[in-house]
Amino acid sequence: MSQVQLNQQITTNIANQLKLVSQMVSTVRKEALASTFNRCSEVAVDLATHGGAEEHQQRALEEGQLSLLACEERLAHLIKVLDDVQKECRGGMRPPPLDSYVEERLKGVEASVPYDPAKDERFTRYRKEVWKANPGSRPNPDQEDDTDQELVAQDSVVPEICPITKSRLVEPVRSSRCTHTFSRKAIQQLYQQAKKKLICPVPGCNQEIRLEELERNIDMEKQLRRTDIQQRTQRASQSTQRQDSDDEEVLS
């Protein structure tokens, strides 16, 4: 075996190992961290519904959720770095010691994409859900910071429109890489139409979309249900008002 063939075999083996690690990290991120965050959200809402928790308990839950989001974001960056290094290896590059090389690349990605878990839409929605379950237990999170009130002009912070169909989201799924949300069938069809790889269709986003990295957007599902309830309630109220008006005209 020539030296060139040997190097090629080594880099291919490294790439295969990186692919395996990336898949394992993606599984941990999706099935462990994301599911734990959702479960903790359900527990917090349940506590609030049945009288709420002590202030220090609420703070501890919030800090735990922030830690989960920060860890999830770091894993998302790690997946990107592993995938990038994997591509470099398949292109013939033999990287330096992987631990230091990946760590250095990871620091670069994190520095270029600042992230504050307290501003993550999932944490914002988490705090709203807890407050709505027991409004008297603590201040409305929308009113704690005057600067936030301009950003929260409506109850639905996240648009409910699919960027592909331009229609209301149906079975919303979220990319674990860029966190953009799409209708399940729409993104699946777009993926099937892509010749090589699918880049996120949201303008300005250059992240790759992979079907195995799509996850249910439970936050959006809840938002869609709330919107449906609000619309039904509003229609029922308007119908009642019209009926009352008609009755008054008959009596007069």
pLDDT tens-digit readout, 185-203 = 999 999 999 888 999 998 8
CATH of 151-252 given 2.40.420.20, 3.40.50.720, 3.30.40.10, 3.30.1240.10: 3.30.40.10
pLDDT tens-digit readout, 132-187 = 887 766 666 766 554 443 433 344 356 899 999 999 999 999 998 888 999 999 99
pTM of the model: 0.52
pLDDT at 152: 39
pLDDT tens-digit readout, 30-59 = 777 888 888 888 888 888 887 666 777 777
pLDDT tens-digit readout, 1-12 = 566 566 667 777
d(CA 128, CA 225): 15
One-letter amino acid of 191: Y
